[in-house]
Structure 1
Amino acid sequence: MPAVPARNATRIAANPRWHRVSRTPPSLAYGRPIAPASTTSTRPTAPGSLAVRATPFLFVLIWASGFVVAKYAAPYAEPLSFLLLRYTGVVVLMGSLALVARATWPRWRQAGHLAVAGIGIQAGYLGGVWAAIAAGMPAGVAALVVNLQPVLTAVVGWLLGEPMGARRATGLVLGFLGVTLVVSAKLTTNGLSVLTVGLTTLALVAITAGTLYQKRFCPEFDLRTGQVVQFAASIVVTAPFVVAFESFRVTWTLELAGALAWSILVLTGGGISLLFLMLRRGAASQVTSYFYLVPGITAVMAFGLFGEQLGWIVLAGMAATVIGVALAAGGRVTQPAEPAPTPSR
């Protein structure tokens, strides 16, 4: 292309008609086409910052402490009564934070989606597990049943279109085998009944359905106002069962107050919030695979707090779950990329 003399360049710059010419679409620039942007991209599901990478492991530590809380609270309050107090405390806490910060409240349609997801993740899961253990199911068996969740989530998610390769499938199976080893010492048929098995199965289905529903219909929301909606819905669902099956007798002790405060401030304010943040970034099967680490971490906590023994089988199971989670949660997920912007004319 011949060079433009300096005096002509000045005239061109001052003439608005030449600026319209400069708006040639990028695909026609310099007389040759440019390949269109890809409609799919393979990228990490989360930024590579240290804080983001540490989020799943902080979540596991917090979530595992929930079983310790249950052990402290059990002598002083019935299970659903304790959960009702917890839900109420979360509504007050998150509602206060939302009002002070003037957070955005969800519209009615989104609030409905949040309520449905919350009933599954909160009321259905927690209520089912706590009620089953209170009815006599061994904690190890309950943990084994609900830890089928990553596998069930992966299968249902795959049927709904979530990607899952051989690496993730292998990790999920290995992780579940590791969980089986961790809880094997506590596996017993004592306390098994139609009621207890039904309650744990309900908990498994509830948290799986709630997780997938939230990932699909309402992944983005303010964590303060969103949790107000979810736990308010859980109160509405749980209260009738408390009235029907429990006496709502609560013996207020320092242990119970500490367990309740930890449940509200840490398990919910920290653990549930971290779970929701992870669901925004990753595939549901990828996120739920971290639940495999919970029984092992709980076993370590029980060893330190209650003197429960850690055998070689438990340690081997913990190693298997770590490898399984590394396979299931690692790697990249193919997600749709944003379409290239249309050139202005």
Structure 2
Amino acid sequence: MPPVFYSLFVPALFVWLWSTGFIGARYGLPFAEPFTLLAMRMFLTLVPLAVLAVFLKSRWPGWRGAGHLAVTGLLVQGFYLGGVFYAVDQGMSAGVVSLIVGLQPLVTSLAAVIFLKESVTSRQWLGLSLGLVGVVLVLAEKMGGTGEVGIPPHTLIWALLALLGISLGTVYQKRHGTSVDLVTGTMVQYAAAGSFFALGAFVLETREVEWTLQFKLALAWLVFGLSVSAILLLMWLIRRGAASQVASLFYLVPPVTALEAFILFGERLGPLAITGGLVAITGVALVTVKGRGAQALRK
């Protein structure tokens, strides 16, 4: 396929898939507790991945590689998803969670500079900053209309845990997980995260599930749309590009999620949110698209 497919379509597809995670959580959480839902999601995902691994004759990583993948799984899946789902379940609005997790590109870029010695040009720092401004503008309108006086401290801890997990997980995956098979590598990550969620479910939750049609559809999408498709695309993008470049794509998730919420739930998308979306897109373009005089990020 032409290079434009990889540089435009694949990132756009990833952003859309990733943005539906909040939508799936909203549909599924009323019928199951967070860790219970996530444990089911992780272990169910192993089934289609196992079939895919057999079909593709994927190679399994060694013990050392599996250890690195388990760490990535705990960070990218366990801490991130667990933090987001528990913050929403415990009373933090999805808009506030998105805003906190939306800081991930800046945290990832800083970590990539420190640990991976990646070079980030002034143009790209400008793009990251614009992305952050765009995220704030997109969510400012929604936050201003919620009537929230404050954020419960324990939910803030969950959201910050999610931010830390996805940021460090992206950098760790870039450093230690780029030479393994995508399918079997992802299976190891899900097995580790699933074990983490199962432990949390047994310790913190009742593990009761209401098997409504809405819950079944939400779980199916979380498995096939997010855990299979989006995560494989994320790992593929990390393998091909710099961690800071991949991280910049997450700036597009809040605007896309806001649009989906408008279409599905009738949430108003005002001028401030539209402006923020355009600013975020501009910021991502500055980071990911090479200008004639700009220095490309190292791969």
| Band of TM-score, shorter chain | over 0.9
Q: How does 1:193-272 map to 2 (within 5 A)?
A: 193-272=152-231
1:38 aligned partner: none
* Alignment pair present for 1:183 and 2:142: no
Q: Shift of residue 283 of structure 1?
A: 0.8
CA distance in 1, matches of 2:63, 2:20: 34
User: Which whole-Å CA distance do the structure 2 matches of 1:52 and 1:169 have between them?
Assistant: 20
- Greater Cα offset, 72-81 or 110-119: 72-81
2:27 alignment partner, one of 72, 75, 81: 72
Q: Secondary structure at the match of 1:192?
A: coil
SS in 2 for 1:333: coil
Tell me, which stretches of 5 or more residues in structure 1 are unaligned?
Answer: 1-46, 337-345
Whether 1:159 and 2:114 are equivalent positions in the alignment is: yes
The structural deviation recorded for 1:302 is: 1.0
Q: Is it true that 1:318 corresponds to 2:243 in the alignment?
A: no
Aligned residue in 2 for 1:98: 53
Aligned to 2:39: 84
**Contact map agreement 1:174 1:320 (CA 8 A) in 2:** yes
Which range moved further: 220-229 or 159-168?
Answer: 220-229
User: Paired residue for 2:296?
Assistant: 333
The Cα of 1:97 is off from its aligned counterpart by: 2.0
Equivalence for 1:305: 264
Matched, 1:117 2:117: no
Distance 1:334 1:259, change over 3 A: closer
* Residue in structure 1 matching 2:81, options 122, 126, 129: 126
Is this contact kept in 2: 1:137–1:191, CA < 8 A?
no
Q: Give distance in 2, aligned partners of 1:91 and 1:292.
A: 29
Measured in 2, the distance between the counterparts of 1:123 and 1:223 equals: 18
- Go from structure 1 to structure 2 and tell me whether the alpha carbon gap of 1:334 and 1:308 turns closer, same or farther (over 3 Å shift): closer
Distance 2:29 2:112 in 1: 35
Distance in 1 (CA, whole Å) between partners of 2:78 and 2:101 is: 14
Conservation of the 8 A alpha-carbon contact between 1:91 and 1:232: yes
Q: Is the 8 A contact 1:98 1:225 kept in 2?
A: yes
Q: What is the CA distance between 1:53 and its match in structure 2?
A: 2.6
Aligned residues of 1:139 and 1:186 also touching (Cα < 8 A): no
| Structure 2 CA distance for partners of 1:242 and 1:65, relative to 1, 3 Å | same
| Equivalent position amino acid for 1:153 in 2 | T
Encode CA deviations 1:201-220: one digit per residue, 9 max, x unaligned: 11111111111011001113
Q: What is the identity, as a one-letter code, of the residue corresponding to 2:215?
A: L
Counterpart of 1:293 in structure 2 is 252
Asked if structure 2 preserves the Cα contact closer than 8 Å seen for 1:138 and 1:191, the reply is: no
Q: Report deviation, 1:328.
A: 1.5
Alpha-carbon distance change, 191 to 234 in structure 1, aligned in 2, over 3 angstroms: farther
Equivalent residue runs for 1:32-51 within 5 Å = 48-51=3-6
TM-score, normalising length: structure 2: 0.93
The 1-side partners of 2:12 and 2:75 are apart by 23
Give the letter for the 1:232 counterpart: A
Shift of 1:144: 0.8
1:58 aligns with 2:13: yes
Q: Provide structure 2 residue ranges, at least 5 long, that are not aligned to the other structure.
A: none
Q: Distance in 2 between matches of 1:173 and 1:310?
A: 23
Does the Cα contact within 8 Å between 2:242 and 2:298 map onto a contact in 1?
no
TM-score of the aligned structures, taking structure 1 as reference length = 0.81
Q: Report which of the two structures shows the higher radius of gyration computed on alpha carbons.
A: 1
1:172 aligns with 2:128: yes
Q: Secondary structure at the match of 1:74?
A: helix
Q: State the Cα distance separating 1:191 from its structure 2 match.
A: 5.7
- Aligned to 1:140, the other structure's residue is in SS state helix
Structure 1 position 239, deviation (Å): 1.4
Equivalent residue, structure 2, for 1:147: 102
CA deviation string 1:36-83 (max 9, x = no partner): xxxxxxxxxxx8242443111110011111111111112211111111
Shift of residue 99, structure 1, vs aligned partner: 2.8
Q: Aligned partners of 1:222, 1:317: CA distance in 2, in Å?
A: 38
Q: Give the structure with the larger helix fraction.
A: 2
Taking only aligned residues, the RMSD between alpha carbons, in angstroms, comes to 1.5
Aligned length: 290
Q: 1:327 to 1:334 in 2, by over 3 A?
A: closer
CA distance in 2, matches of 1:313, 1:183: 9
How far is 1:168 from its partner? 0.6
Q: Give the whole-Å Cα distance in 2 for the aligned partners of 1:191 and 1:83.
A: 27
